[in-house]
Amino acid sequence: MRILVASSNRGVNGAVVYARRLIPLLRSAGHHVILACESGSWIEAAVGDEVPLLRTDFSRWPLTECDRVAAFCRAEGVDVIHSHLTRSGNFAALVRARHGVASVAHLHANHPQPHTGLHDLLIAVSEDTAARQRLVPWNWSVPVEVLPNFVDPSLFRPAAGAADPLRETLGVAPGTPVVAVVGLISRRKGQDLAVRAFAEVRRARPDAVLAVIGGGELPAGLPMDGVRLLGQREDVPRLLPHATVVVVPSRDEPFGLAAVEAMACGVPVTAFAVGGLREVLADGAGVAVPPGDVGALARAVLALLSDGAGRRRQAEAGMAAALRRYGPNAHLAALSRLLAGVAG
């Protein structure tokens, strides 16, 4: 197939990272991939000259950009547009409605959008996301399929060798317990809750450090003793395997890629049981605690820090679940089938 992957975010978030990692996966199956993105965006730089680019601002008015992209799709023989974010999804829906180009919207967020009912197919990253989208009347005529995200085990894997780049980056001694939280800092991702929980952890384990990996700024007034801000990093796969515990403190989470990546690295995960995270942590793959319960999160972290054997058992269970449920080959086969169904 000839697939136009559309990613409208200029920065980096989970949906953009998925789109970037998806491109070589699709190409490995023989699909011809073109990336539609904004000039100067993170994904443009990340992809480089790997695939042809269609630079667009995804503007819906006036209709000239819609018509230009549709003409490009006709000239290039594009079979389907596969969009990943709200603006690109809105834009692809317009291209489909106006010019008949087949369109699949990949839903990486829980909140309904007005464009979703105008696609040929919706792909939800979790059962929770699919259930929310099916409640919206304008989606009742559109099929919604569930396809969880994938993790690349060649990229996210257990630590090997004596080097410890995480503690070297933090400037702490070998053996220091490091609790990590990964993701763009935002209210939805809940890093502020992780910091509050860590304050309780720190009282019992003053040797522990909380590594906050991700761009953005934390709210003022948080207890920052032992908290280290590492900012946006391009070497997360190198750092993550060396964490002692990973916390995913999201207030709402369509899927929970950070949890799956940590699990694939053999790092135990504890998280609030919200949205798609409930599915990721199911059957003992991780430690789920009641949503927003900072005390329960702190107790779960302390239990893992204080029990080496239990921590290893949890890490092994999480890694087995990650590889079994979220492998790239099964993901590629399912996605290819879904896209082909629309393109055909």
Domain ranges of the chain: 2-150+327-343, 165-325
Rounded Cα distance, 333 and 26, in Å: 10
Where does the pLDDT of residue 111 fall: very low under 50, low under 70, confident under 90, or very high at 90 and above? Answer: confident
CA distance 200 to 299: 8
The sheet with strand 245-248 has its strands ordered as 227-231, 209-213, 178-182, 245-248, 269-272, 287-289
Coil/strand/helix, residue 136:
coil
Average pLDDT, integer, range 133-146 = 94
Return d(Cα 295, Cα 165) in angstroms, integer. 30
- Give the residue-averaged pLDDT of 294-310: 97
Distance CA 234, CA 215 (A): 11
Q: Residue 297: pLDDT band by 50, 70, 90 thresholds?
A: very high
Phi and psi, residue 320, nearest 5°: -60, -40
Side chain identity at residue 51, one-letter code:
V
Q: How many helices (H) and strands (E) does the chain have?
A: 13, 13
pLDDT class of 165 with cuts at 50, 70, 90? very high
| pLDDT of 344 above 90 | no
Please report, as a single letter, which amino acid is at residue 37.
Answer: C
Q: Are strands 178-182 and 209-213 parallel, antiparallel or unpaired?
A: parallel
pLDDT at 114 (0 to 100): 83
Tokens of 264: 């694939």
Is the peptide bond preceding residue 62 cis, with omega within 30 degrees of 0?
yes
User: Hey, what CATH class is 165-325 in?
Assistant: alpha beta
Task: List Cβ neighbours of 7 (8 Å cut-off, separation of 6 or more).
Answer: 15, 16, 19, 20, 35, 36, 37, 41, 43, 83, 84, 85, 88
As a whole number of Å, the end-to-end CA separation of the chain is: 10
pLDDT at 343: 94
**What pLDDT, in 10s, does the model give residues 182-200?**
999 999 999 999 999 999 9
The whole-angstrom separation of Cα 311 and Cα 304 is: 5
- Residue 75's pLDDT is 98
Tokens 């996210």, residue?
Answer: 156
Q: Nearest to residue 184, comparing CAs of 236, 241, 231, 254?
A: 231
Q: What is the mean pLDDT of residues 275-304?
A: 97
What's the pLDDT score for residue 156? 97
Q: Which of 235, 278, 286 is nearest to 262 (CA)?
A: 286
Please, which pLDDT band fits residue 161 given cuts at 50, 70 and 90? confident
The CATH number of 2-150+327-343 is 3.40.50.2000
pLDDT at 126: 97
Please determine, for residue 162, whether its predicted confidence score (pLDDT) is greater than 90. no
**Percent of the chain at pLDDT exceeding 70:** 100
Interhelix angle for 86-99 vs 64-76, to 10°? 70
Report pLDDT for 110.
86
The pTM (predicted TM-score) of the whole model is 0.94
pLDDT tens across 48-91, in order? Answer: 999 999 999 999 999 999 999 999 999 999 999 999 999 999 99
Instruction: Dump strand ranges (E) for the chain.
Output: 2-6, 32-37, 53-55, 80-83, 103-107, 121-124, 144-146, 178-182, 209-213, 227-231, 245-248, 269-272, 287-289
- 2-150+327-343 with 165-325: one CATH topology? yes
